[in-house]
Amino acid sequence: MVHSASSKEKLAKFCLGRNADRIRDSDCTAVFLADKQCLKEYKRFGTFLDANAAAGGKRKVVGKWAKRKIQVLILLFSSGWPLPRFLSNPISFGVRTGVSTVSALTKRRVLVPSLGSAETWASKNTMLVAMTYMLACSSRGIATCPMEGYNVGGIRKMLKIPKRYAIPLIVSSGVPYKRDDEEGVDDVGMDHGPSASGSLTTRYNMDEIVFEDQFGDSGQSR
């Protein structure tokens, strides 16, 4: 969470165009990190599960073998092998290629998961947290602006973020700003909310983006 004036100025230097202005003008900017080697945290996660069980007055909700199963599933889906990159990357690629080969050779009669890279899996999960953060801000009258126009290397160095973490998204947050003479226009000239006529801003037709039962079928023929 970047909120001091000096830190916001440093962060803004690595953001493109108007994103830099939004960093400076925001009350706070959340920098979301995606852990590409999440199993390095599994010991702490196991302790967390035990602590929750104890707090609930139960002896042990998650047993040893159940924890192992969770560990294997996370490892499989995340491709986040807790090894040095020169080992984890080829292992991850080999496992993903092997799983895809099984699916292709059996013509999907053997059902196996479609696996992505460690960064893809971690980023997808991190985006769910970012979505929840933005909804929570909105429910409290706090404006948010998600951005991806920035230099990852610069932000990583400035915030001292280990290479183990990807930076899929940053979200500037704060009390909404409106000029007295231009309601709905922020301090860098961007329009927000309904248009002057009171209707929503222009969007694609619904039947062009929402389909029924199969891709491309708008359901109009029925």
State yes or no: pLDDT of 119 exceeds 70. yes
Is residue 62 domain-resident? no
Do 31 and 15 contact (CB within 8 A), yes or no? no
- Whether 110 maps to a domain, the answer reads yes
Identity of the highest mean pLDDT range in 71-80, 141-150, 195-204: 141-150
Instruction: Please state the pTM of the whole predicted model.
Output: 0.79
Task: State how far the Cα of 52 lies from the Cα of 95, in Å rounded to an integer.
Answer: 33
Q: Residue 24: inside a domain, yes or no?
A: yes
Average pLDDT for 171-187: 69
pLDDT at 61: 64
Q: What is the pLDDT of residues 12-65, one digit of tens each?
A: 999 999 999 999 999 999 999 999 988 888 888 888 878 877 776 655 567 778
At residue 159, does pLDDT exceed 80?
A: yes
| Segments of 13-57 assigned E as strands | 28-35
- How many other CB atoms sit within 10 Å of the CB of residue 53? 14
In a domain, 166, yes or no: yes
Asked if the structure places residue 155 within a domain, the reply is: yes
pLDDT, position 194: 52
The reported pLDDT for the residue numbered 207 is 86
Count of domains for the chain: 1
Domain of residue 96, CATH code: 3.40.109.10
pLDDT value at 222 more than 80: no
* Radius of gyration over every alpha carbon of the chain, rounded to an integer in angstroms: 23
Q: What is the mean pLDDT of residues 153-160?
A: 95
pLDDT at 145: 93
- The answer as to whether 49 is a domain residue is no
Please check whether residue 148 lies inside any domain of the structure.
yes
Any domain includes 203: no
Q: Which domain holds residue 108?
A: 5-37+80-179
